Amino acid sequence: MGDYPDQHLDPVVAATYDDREADRFDPAHLDPCLNLLAELAEDGPVLELAIGTGRVALPLQARGLEVHGIDASQPMVDQMLAKPGADRIAVTIGDMTTTVVGSGFSLAYLVFNTIGNVTSQDGQLACFTNARAQLAAGGRFLIEVGVPKLASLAPGERIRVFAHEESYVGFDEYTDPVNQLFWSHHWLIGRDEAKRVSGQFRWVWPSELDLMARLAGMELEHRWADWNRSPFAAESPAHVSVWRVV
């Protein structure tokens, strides 16, 4: 499946994904996301790239929007299909850089750092190009992604721990600064055993994304630090960016 890391194809990862990301299901986090997406869609059909377990798509569809999705992982999609309302969402298993499911979408979106699952610059550009090809005139493409935290690493260091809990430890290992590649390692610690799941990702800068958008025929319309539309600044750890078809 193109540049995707194996971890999202792992049924064990898929089965535990919602529990590990429970804070992102909290209305305090999810409602601003849904509010913004619904506003940008302007009542038109929407396309979610990497729809996963339906964290965003299902409640967005429940608001009355027509939602379509693409995902490379059947195990992740199977988790969504077991949930109420999933039968009203059209999902295609495929590579989000090349899979075409239709045209005339008012909004395509890619959330929670998933642009990094595509581990080459050409592949990330292809994601923009593929989204653009399926958007209506004046349609929008939205990405939520973190800003690389390389400044937090001391000279010579390449490991950054981002989670340390009783049953879960996560850390990023920056292995290839030339190609902007890192590995994200996740230790899932149970009563009798520990399982490590690792995946390779590519970090990408906001300015780099803007150039990809321009090459695909879109221009930056908005950039915020979060779903609450806080101003984006140099110290912002993430951004929600919107590009519009020109």
- In one-letter notation, the amino acid at residue 129 is T
Residue 3 has pLDDT above 50, yes or no: no
Distance of alpha carbon 143 from alpha carbon 166, whole angstroms = 32
Lowest mean pLDDT among 26-35, 45-54, 140-149, 190-199: 190-199
Question: Strand ranges (DSSP E) for the chain?
Answer: 46-49, 67-71, 90-93, 105-110, 135-146, 159-164, 168-176, 181-189, 194-202, 218-224, 238-245
145: pLDDT strictly greater than 50: yes
Read off the pTM.
0.92
60 alpha-carbon distance from chain centroid: 16
- How high is the mean pLDDT of the chain? 93
Residue 1: which pLDDT band, with cuts at 50, 70 and 90? very low
Supply angle C-alpha 172, 52, 246, rounded to 5.
Answer: 90
Measure the CA–CA gap between 118 and 137, rounded to whole angstroms.
26
pLDDT class for 9, splitting at 50, 70, 90? confident
pLDDT at 178 over 90: yes
- The pLDDT assigned to 4 comes to 40
**pLDDT the model gives residue 131:** 98
How many other CB atoms are there within 10 angstroms of residue 21's CB atom? 14
Domain ranges of the chain: 6-148+204-245, 151-197
CATH of 6-148+204-245, one of 3.40.50.1370, 3.30.565.10, 3.40.220.10, 3.40.50.150: 3.40.50.150
Mean pLDDT within 42-67: 98
Residue that the structure tokens 């319309």 belong to: 221
Q: Tell me the mean pLDDT in the region 211-220.
A: 98
48 with 67: CB under 8 angstroms? yes
